[in-house]
Structure 1
Amino acid sequence: MFESFPKSFTIPSFKLPTFVSAVGAKLPQWPHAVVLTTGLNAAVKMRLLPEDSLELLEGKTFLVEVLDTGSHARFTFRGGLFRPLFKTGSPATSEGATVVDDLVFRANLSAFLQLVARQEDPDTLFFNRQLTIEGDTELGLVVKNMLDAVEWPKLPHFPGFATSSR
């Protein structure tokens, strides 16, 4: 967990109401990919992600689906940067088969928040069936190990933000 979060700060497991995903699925999805890749690229620039692992991501496509929000972000890693992919769905190849993403992560919003806050690790979420990972197994292990290796910078203290437990 982040050092600057209060010890009592925890993200509970929750699932948003069904209507949220119904509405979210009808909204444009490209903004999610832009925001996610912007954050990932900031982590690259800050050297938070191991460079040797990043090389293994070259040319791979990823899909992150937030099930209870009806949203998804599809992106790739090329030329040292994460880049959003704007096509919806899975494009068909010339043979008519669908193109499959190299790695797909699916979970509810709370699981992703717990993962980012380091409240839960990917293995625990996976084995508790709160996180689904599909695709290239070796690539999945590279990404998991990359996430485990990230040393998050200490968050700044914001005046008025209580850091003591009540």
Structure 2
Amino acid sequence: MFENRFKSLTIPRFTLPGFVATVGNKLPQWPHALALTAGLNAVVKMKLLAEDSLNLLEGRTFLIDVLDTGGRAAFTFRNSLFRPLFTAPETPDLAFRANLSAFLQLAARQEDPDTLFFNRELSIEGDTELGLIVKNMLDAMEWPSFPSMPAFRH
């Protein structure tokens, strides 16, 4: 029952008010990179990403820029692990920029990167070949199914 409710969840397109990014830009950015790399490394440990594709990421730098929150996460892939960068590189090998709603839609697989890119809701900058590797890796990833949770009764 829980799974069915989650699957029917639709994330609308939205843009947070401008003051959120103004405040977010003034905050330290490294906690975002720590959280993101912890999640990515969990996905690596669960073997949800193809190892041969991961090898192509070795030594490359990445930036995720959530425009309407002012949050940024810079990271690299080195020695089989994603590692946070405490200072964003001036020109990362690959950068993704979008509002929070677009990233949530991607994570929920409600929208694919191509649609968001062609609708100008997702900006991808940097090494084109690396971008295709990352896109294909994400497209090929199969999320594990979790057992249904019993419905809560009052």
SS at match of 1:13: coil
Match of 2:101 in 1: 110
The one-character-per-residue Cα deviations of 1:104-154 (angstroms, maximum 9, x if unpaired) are 000000000000000000000100100000000000000000000000011
Give the distance between the partners of 2:16 and 2:4, measured in 1 at CA: 24
Letter in 2 for 1:70: G
Please report how far the alpha carbon of residue 87 of structure 1 lies from its aligned counterpart in structure 2 after TM superposition.
1.5
Letter in 1 for 2:60: K
Contact 2:63–2:88 (CA under 8 A) maintained in structure 1 = no
> Number of matched residues?
151
Percent identity, aligned pairs only? 71
TM-score by length of 2: 0.92
Structure-1 residue corresponding to 2:26:
26
The letter for the 2-side match of 1:111 is A
Report the TM-score when normalising by structure 1. 0.86
- Which structure has the highest helix share of the two? 2
Work out the CA distance in 1 between the residues paired with 2:126 and 2:88: 19
Structure 2 unaligned residues grouped into runs of 5+: none
2:86 maps to 86
Could you say which structure has the greater relative contact order, defined with CA pairs below 8 angstroms and 6 or more residues apart?
Answer: 1
Structure 1: unaligned runs, 5 residues or longer: 91-99, 162-166
RMSD: 1.7
